[in-house]
Amino acid sequence: MKVCIKIAKSGVSKEQVEVISSFVKFLQSQLPLSSDVEIKFVDDQNETGTTGVRMPGSKISILAKGRMLIDILRTLSHEWVHEYQTQEMGVNEKEKIQDIGGPEENMSNVLSGIFIKKFDKQNPDFKDRLYEGKKEESQLDKEMDEFQRVVQDLSRDEGIDISVIDVIRAFRNAEETLIPAEVWGKLENTESNQIKKGEMNKVKKLAKRYRKSDPIKLAKKLIRGEYDRPLILKFGDRYHLVAGNTRLSTAAALGMTPIVLIGEL
C-alpha cells in the first residue's frame, strides 16, 4: 500500500510534511489500509466543503490554510477512518453516510480523537510544530473554574469529601467515549437530556441565559469533531456534569451522540 501526499499551493511547510508523513505511518499502524490512497492538502475550502473530505477512488482532501497542524492531522485522522471503513469494512462509497449520529461518523469521531492523543504523547519532539501559532492550554486548564465550583457545591450541599486535585486526577485518567444513552438520561446538572432533536431554539435560549457560546457556531465544531469534550464526573451510581452543558444541549438538538470524558472518583 502506498500513500501519495500532495502539498502544492497548500501552505504546508517542509517541516510540517515531516510530521504529516510520520502521522500517516502511525495511522497505518493503527488502521492498516490495503489499497493505495492519495492525500491532498489544499488552501481553498471550496475543495473540501468543510475541513476535509474523503472522495471515491481513495482520495482525501484536507484544508490546511489558517489551521494549526494538530487540527489538520485530526481531520486527516477522521477521513482516514472513513477510508478504512470503505476499504476494509465494506461501506459502500456510493451511498451517503449519516453525517450526524451515524455509526460510521461516530466511529470516525472517536478514533480520530484517540489517535491524535496517542500520537501527541508518543512524539513530544513534534509538539512545537503541532501547536505552532497557538499558546497551548489543555482543556483541564481551561475548566479549572468549573472544577472549583463543582467541588464547592458537592462539598457544601452534599457533604461529599473531594478536592480539585481529585477531580483533575479523575479526568486525566479518563478515556474519551460516546456518551451512553443511560448515562445521558440520568445526568445531573444539565438541561441537555431535556432537549430533543431539532430544538435548537431552546439551546439558543439556554446559551443566552448562561452567556455561553453561540450554539450555531458550536454546532459546526461538533459536526467536525473539533470541540472540547464535555466533562462528566462519576461517583457511586451518579453522573454529574462538570462542564459542557451547551455542548451537550447543542448535540442533542442536532440529534448526535457526542464524545465525552467520564472521570470516576
What is the chain's pLDDT, residue by residue, as a tens digit (265 residues)?
Answer: 899 999 887 888 888 999 999 999 999 999 999 999 999 998 876 766 667 888 889 999 998 887 889 889 988 999 999 999 999 998 887 776 655 557 887 788 788 888 988 999 999 999 888 877 654 457 788 888 888 888 888 888 888 888 888 898 899 888 788 999 999 999 999 999 999 999 999 999 999 988 888 899 999 989 888 889 999 999 989 999 999 999 999 999 999 999 999 999 8
Co-location of 123 and 146 in the same domain: no
Identity at 53, one-letter amino acid code: V
Same domain, 145 and 105: no
Q: Domain ends where: 130, 149, 165?
A: 130
In this structure, are residues 167 and 147 in contact, taking their beta carbons and an 8 Å threshold? yes
Domain end position, chosen among 111, 130, 149: 130
Range of the domain at 241: 139-264
Do 163 and 113 share a structural domain?
no
Grid cell locating 13? 511547510
d(CA 84, CA 90): 9
Cell of 76: 486527516
Closest residue by Cα to residue 71 from 51, 45, 47: 51
